[in-house]
């Protein structure tokens, strides 16, 4: 089965290709000749993931999946959510985003949060959504130097280290993205593998 991952990140494509195995022909956006920026104008993770996958399916006639992720903080009614990448502004700077979040949470006792990933798959037969999440809390200050984004201030439930203090393998055991990917891969393998 041929399926496109709506990303330009060769690392993500290689990683996903290895998980899916040889019965899938996995392509990225460049492989199908898609050089334009995909639309991402919806107000939810579900909406954005679906919008990107549907765009590729409609314009390139290939089954496609796309992901969208965000950090949702309970005391801030789910902020930054879909705005996670540019929470503190257009510069999309992780330090600025974390500083703003810590500032907004200062004095608030509830520091519960979750990371959530949605993967939308659009095929000729219809649309499927796969969700992965990880519960945790926002730390009082940044800890660790690994990872990216909000990793230094997020500590998953049951752990005493932030995502930025974990190895990539450890993070992948519990991460929202890994959990959503597993659901997608299980579905594709059950549906298309022989």
User: Which is the catalytic residue, given 31, 68, 83, 186?
Assistant: 68
68 is catalytic: yes
Residue 136 makes contact with ligand IMP by CB under 6 A:
no
Task: Tell me which long-range contacts 42-48 makes (C-beta under 8 A, separation of at least 24).
Answer: 42/82, 43/82, 44/81, 44/82, 45/69, 45/70, 45/81, 45/82, 45/116, 45/117, 45/118, 46/118, 46/120, 46/129, 48/82, 48/118
**How many residues of this chain interact with ligand IMP, rule: CB under 6 A?**
15
Integer Cα distance of 159 and 41 in angstroms: 35
Of 7, 84, 114, 162, the residue at the interface with ligand IMP (CB under 6 A) is: 84
Residue 11 burial class via C-beta count within 10 angstroms: exposed 0-12, middle 13-18, buried 19 and up: exposed
Residue 132 makes contact with ligand IMP by CB under 6 A:
no
Question: Which residue minimizes CB distance to ligand IMP?
Answer: 149
Residue 114 makes contact with ligand IMP by CB under 6 A:
no
Stretch that binds ligand IMP, among 7-15, 69-77, 121-129, 182-190 (CB under 6 A): 69-77
* Residues noted as catalytic: 68
Binding region for ligand IMP (CB under 6 A): 68-71, 84-85, 115, 147-151, 163, 175, 177
């Amino acid at each position: 089965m041929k399926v496109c991952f709506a990303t330009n990140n060769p690392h993500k494509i290689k990683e996903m290709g290895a998980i899916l195995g040889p019965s899938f022909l996995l392509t990225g956006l460049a492989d199908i000749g898609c050089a334009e920026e995909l639309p991402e104008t919806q107000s939810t993770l579900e909406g954005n993931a679906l919008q990107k996958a549907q765009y590729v399916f409609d314009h390139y006639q290939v089954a496609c999946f796309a992901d969208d992720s965000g950090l949702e903080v309970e005391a801030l009614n789910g902020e930054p959510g879909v705005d996670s990448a540019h929470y503190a502004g257009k510069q999309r700077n992780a330090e600025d985003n974390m500083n703003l979040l810590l500032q907004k949470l200062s004095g608030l006792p509830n520091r519960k949060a979750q990371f959530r990933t949605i993967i939308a798959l659009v095929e000729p037969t219809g649309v499927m959504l796969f969700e992965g999440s990880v519960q945790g809390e926002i730390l009082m200050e940044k800890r660790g130097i690994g990872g990216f984004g909000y990793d230094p201030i997020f500590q998953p439930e049951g752990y005493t280290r932030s995502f930025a203090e974990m190895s990539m393998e450890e993070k992948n055991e519990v991460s929202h993205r890994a959990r959503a990917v597993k659901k997608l891969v299980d579905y594709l393998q059950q549906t298309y593998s022989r």
